Amino acid sequence: MTTIETRIKQKKAEISANGNDRNSEANQAMKALVYHSPGNKSWEEKPKPQLVKPTDAIVKISKTTICGTDLHIMKGDVPTVTDGRIIGHEGVGVIEEVGSAVSNFKKSDHVIISCITSCGKCDYCKKGMYSHCTDGGWILGNLIDGTQAEYVRIPHADNSLYPIPAGSDEEALVMLSDILPTGFECGVLNGQVKPGDIIAIIGAGPVGLATLLTAQFYTPAEIIMIDVDDSRLAVAKTFGATQTINSNDGKAVEKLMKFTNEKGVDVAIEAVGIPATFELCQAIIGAGGHIANIGVHGKSVTLHLETLWSKNITITTRLVDTVTTPMLLKTVQSKKIAPKKLITHHYKLDEIIKAYETFGNAAKEKALKVILTNE
C-alpha cells in the first residue's frame, strides 16, 4: 500500500472513530460543494463538521475562493479526491469551536485558513517544510473535507490557522491561504530574486500574477511576463511587469535573448505546468541563473543537460509550505502589497456553481480570483 493510500485510510478512521458524537448532533446540517465523479459536483446538504481531535478547530467560513487545482479535481485528475468529498482549501472565517489542546485560538477569533495543514512537530514541520507534514500537508479539500462549505474542520489548528488583525480587509487575506505564498515561496524565494535582477515569469494566470506581485518585494530591475493571452499581459502591466511578451509567435526566446544582450535572464519562473513552458525556461536562463518551477506538471519534461551541465544553474520544485504566511501578512498589513488586485469576481457562497463556470472560463470572463461570501 502506498503512503498516500495509508494516509487516506487513516484520515477516514480518525473521523469515523468520532461517529457517535456526530450522530448525536445529526440534526445540525450545512451546505457544501461536493465532488462526486468527474464532471459531477453539487451544492448540497452535509452534516456540519465536528471536532475529531483535541488539536482541531471548527471554522465558520466567511469567504472562500476557487483554485485552479479545484478545476483539475472536478475533471477527475486528482485521484486522492473521492466521491463525497467537500472541495476547497482557501478561505477566511470565524472560529466556532476549538479542541482542548488548541491554545493559539478561541471561539470568535477571525482567522486565515492555510491551504497546508501543519502539525508543527514532525521532522518536516520542524524544518519549515509544512507541505510534507506527516500528518498534514495538502489535505483540505483533498484527503479530508474542505472550505467550499459553510463550516470546515481544521486539524492542527494552532499551526494551520493565522489570526486576522482587527480592522483587516478579509477579502485581501483570502489570497494568503494559497496563491500568494505559492507565488512567493515556489517562485520568488526559490528563484532567489535579488535587487537589480532581470526575471521572467512564464504564465500570467493568477499564480503567475501572485508571483509578479511578490517578486517586487526584492526590487528586480526588470520583470518580464510571458503568456499567450494579451488581456492577461495587459493586466500584468498594471501589476508591475516592466515588459510583456506574447509567446504565440514562437519568438519569445529570441526576444528575451535580445533584451538581455544574449546573456539570458537571472531568474525564470515557470507558472504554467506544461513541457513547452519549462522548455522556454531552459532556453532563456542565463549562466548562474535560477529556474523556479511552480506549475503542477502532469508529464515529464526534457532537461537539456547537454547544454546546461556547464551553465551553473539551479532548478527548484516546491509544493507551497505556507511558512511565509506571517511575513506576507505583515506586508499586507503595512500596505506594501495589495493582493485584492487579484480578485475579479464576487459571488455569494450558494452561487458557487455559477462561480465555477466563471472561473472555468477564465480567459473569456477575464477572471483571476473569484470571491465567494457566506452571508
Q: Which of residues 97-156 bind a copy of itself (CB under 8 A)?
A: 100-101, 103-104, 119-129, 131-132, 135
Alpha-carbon gap, residue 9 to 363, rounded angstroms: 39
Instruction: Pick one of 234, 326, 338, 348: the residue that binds a copy of itself (CB under 8 A).
Output: 326
Contacts of 50 (CB under 8 A, 6+ apart): 18, 21, 22, 25, 58, 153
Looking at the Cβ atoms of 30 and 308, the one nearer to a copy of itself is 308
Min. distance of Cβ 109 from a copy of itself in angstroms?
14
Of the listed pieces 18-26, 38-46, 314-322, 342-350, which binds a copy of itself according to CB under 8 A? Answer: 314-322
* φ/ψ bin of 91: left (φ > 0), alpha (ψ from -120 to 50), beta (otherwise): left
User: Should residue 50 be labelled a site residue for a copy of itself when binding is judged by CB under 8 A?
Assistant: no
All three cell numbers of 169, joined, read 480587509
DSSP annotation of 135 reads: T
All three cell numbers of 157, joined, read 489548528
Min. distance of Cβ 55 from a copy of itself in angstroms?
6
User: Should residue 72 be labelled a site residue for a copy of itself when binding is judged by CB under 8 A?
Assistant: no
Contacts of 310 (CB under 8 A, 6+ apart): none
Window 244-263: contact mask with a copy of itself (x via CB under 8 A) = ------------------x-
User: Should residue 310 be labelled a site residue for a copy of itself when binding is judged by CB under 8 A?
Assistant: yes
Q: How far is CA 372 from CA 91, 149, 234, 349, in A?
A: 9, 10, 25, 5
Window 353-372: contact mask with a copy of itself (x via CB under 8 A) = --------------------
Are the C-beta atoms of residues 291 and 315 closer than 8 Å to each other? yes
Looking at the Cβ atoms of 29 and 305, the one nearer to a copy of itself is 305
Window 192-211: contact mask with a copy of itself (x via CB under 8 A) = --xxxx--------------
